[in-house]
Amino acid sequence: MNRQVRNGSSLGGEHLTDLLVFSFLQHGPNNFQEELKKLDHTLPVPHGPQEHLEEELQTDGSRCSHFVFEDQSRGSETQEDVIRDIARQLARIGDTMDRRVPQGLVDHLVMQLRDRSLSDEGRRACLATAVDRVLQACPRDMEEEKTMLLVTMLLARKVASHTPSLLREVFHTTVNFINQNLLTYVRNLVRNEMD
């Protein structure tokens, strides 16, 4: 069966990228687990036919929704599983590339992302500059889009590791950057894995 990544029963572009970046950040060395948990509760989860909602009453009286994917209990691989597998594989590759990211570049990016007067577009531009600088030091043994995706998410992880309080900002900047520059590549990557 040929499944496609599209809006509707599949994850839309933004949610697909949210899940990919979030899953990438969960893997590999990090010291921002608490921030990841907080971020996880703020991420939108798409509604699809194979999922149902379970709600829990929180201590503050609000409701926390968790989606349970029924297909997982039947052993079939969902699109979300595929995205998490891709993120896990990319995180392993990213671990080997980690040393190619100069600490000074990370420090500079942290300083820029701390600037509250910077617009979303300004943040994306700072990230794009950092990605370009790291790409110059990367070997050309992978396809360009894959390397760019890896470097982008690796920079997000390094910024969050350096300054965990910036996780939310770097996460959203990274998702926006990927959606703007690499969404077609990410969709194709997922589609190819699902075929």
This prediction has a pTM of: 0.78
More confident residue, 110 or 78: 110
Q: Looking at domain 13-48+77-194, which of 1.10.287.1080, 1.10.437.10, 2.40.50.90, 3.40.1080.10 is its CATH number? A: 1.10.437.10
| pLDDT at residue 54 in the model | 39
CA–CA distance, 61 with 55 (Å, rounded to integer): 12
Which has the minimum average pLDDT: 18-22, 26-30, 103-107? 26-30
Judging by DSSP bridges, how do beta strands 63-69 and 51-57 pair with one another?
antiparallel
Joined tokens for residue 52: 């149902």
pLDDT, one tens digit per residue, over 84-108 is 999 999 999 999 988 889 999 999 9
- The answer to whether residues 73 and 111 touch, using CB atoms and an 8 Å cutoff, is no
Confidence band, pLDDT 50/70/90 cuts, at residue 130: very high
- Range with the poorest average pLDDT among 61-70, 74-83, 114-123, 141-150: 61-70
Q: Where are the domains of the chain?
A: 13-48+77-194
Cβ-proximal residues to 25 (8 Å cutoff; 6+ apart), any chain:
32, 36, 153, 156, 157, 160, 167, 171
- The 10s digit of each residue's pLDDT in 34-56 is 999 999 988 875 534 333 333 44
pLDDT tens for each residue of 160-194: 999 999 999 999 999 999 999 999 999 999 999 88
Judge whether residue 63 has pLDDT over 90: no
Name the average pLDDT for the chain.
Answer: 81
